[in-house]
């Protein structure tokens, strides 16, 4: 049985008690990579522990796939996919476009999800009956923008530098076709697709926790999210999120041109 959608409020509030007091404050930054830079902070680690406590207290038989503290019970029917701060680079830069991502998979498929941005007071939540955003005590339905062709589309990606050499030309090709491209925002960009403000997100090399909390948001708002090859996105990889099936088809066609 799926949890009530309000359970995500408890998760978000537990995470925010660890993230908000550390945002725009001096924070210790560690680098996960020996080559390159993949930052993690005490806020990431503490927020994930808070999330895990809430989940295990209420659903001890569920699995958890987490970015910072490992995996438990990935063979169980229900698995929570947790990224305590998606957009840690934005977090340490004082930019409020990071978010707490939590998704729920049932037998490998995303069925619920949340992106919470506590600094701006926005909480995007999706369940089987639809998707909504909570802003300052008011709820609004999330609906993607329809009727937009590729040439009129607004597209976002975290950075054009994220694409490896074998995908860079495909990314440049689609960027040359859309009306407007903006960089940055990580998970916040996907929330803007769900809310109907932008039309496309194109990225590569994502982990399951980078996308797990966003899949239901996009799909329940009327959009489409897949890999570049059109497969399910739950395991990450190169990802496209679109506001409509027609736009998604056009984006995949451009990305996969030989």
pLDDT at 27: 84
pLDDT one-digit tens code per residue, 26-64 = 888 887 656 566 788 999 999 999 999 999 999 999 999
pLDDT at 70: 87
Distance of alpha carbon 186 from its chain centroid, rounded?
7
Longest pairwise C-alpha distance within the chain? 50
pLDDT at 37: 63
Low-confidence ranges of the chain (pLDDT < 50): none
pLDDT one-digit tens code per residue, 104-116 = 999 999 999 999 9
Q: What are phi and psi of 167, to 5 degrees?
A: -110, -10
The first and second tokens of residue 173, run together, are 């090709």
d(CA 181, CA 178): 7
Query: Which domains are delineated in the chain?
Result: 7-141 (3.30.540.10), 150-255 (3.40.190.80)
d(CA 183, CA 133): 23
Q: What are phi and psi of 222, to 5 degrees?
A: 105, 5
pLDDT at 53: 98
pLDDT at 29: 84
Whole-structure pTM value: 0.95
Q: Would you list the DSSP string of 99-136?
A: EEEEEEEETTEEEEEEEEETTTTEEEEEETTEEEEEET
**H or E, element range at 174:** helix 165-175
The first and second tokens of residue 124, run together, are 């995007």
| pLDDT-above-70 percentage for the chain | 98
Q: Would you list the DSSP string of 27-66?
A: --EEES-SSS--EEEHHHHHHHHHHHHHHHHH-TTSEEEE
DSSP-based three-state secondary structure for 210: helix
């Amino acid at each position: 049985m799926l949890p009530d959608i309000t359970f995500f409020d408890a998760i978000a509030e537990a995470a925010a008690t660890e993230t908000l007091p550390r945002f725009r404050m001096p924070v210790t930054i560690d680098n996960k990579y020996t080559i390159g830079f993949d930052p993690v902070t005490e806020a990431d680690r503490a927020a994930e522990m808070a999330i895990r406590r809430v989940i295990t207290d209420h659903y001890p038989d569920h699995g958890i796939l987490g970015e910072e503290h490992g995996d438990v019970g990935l063979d169980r029917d229900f698995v929570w996919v947790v990224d305590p701060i998606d957009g840690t680079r934005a977090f340490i830069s004082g930019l409020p476009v990071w978010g707490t991502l939590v998704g729920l998979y049932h037998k490998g498929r995303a069925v619920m999800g949340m992106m919470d941005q506590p600094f701006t007071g926005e909480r995007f939540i999706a369940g089987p009956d639809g998707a909504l955003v909570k802003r300052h005590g008011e709820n609004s339905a999330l609906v993607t923008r329809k009727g937009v062709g590729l040439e009129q589309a607004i597209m976002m990606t975290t950075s054009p530098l994220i694409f490896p050499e074998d995908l860079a030309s495909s990314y440049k090709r689609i960027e040359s076709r859309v009306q407007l491209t903006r960089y940055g925002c990580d998970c916040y960009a996907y929330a803007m697709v769900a809310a109907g403000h932008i039309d496309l997100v194109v990225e590569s090399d994502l982990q399951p926790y980078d996308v797990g909390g966003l899949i239901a948001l996009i799909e329940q708002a009327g959009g489409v999210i897949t890999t570049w090859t059109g497969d399910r996105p739950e395991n990450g990889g190169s990802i496209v999120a679109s506001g409509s099936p027609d736009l998604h088809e056009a984006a995949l066609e451009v990305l996969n041109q030989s």
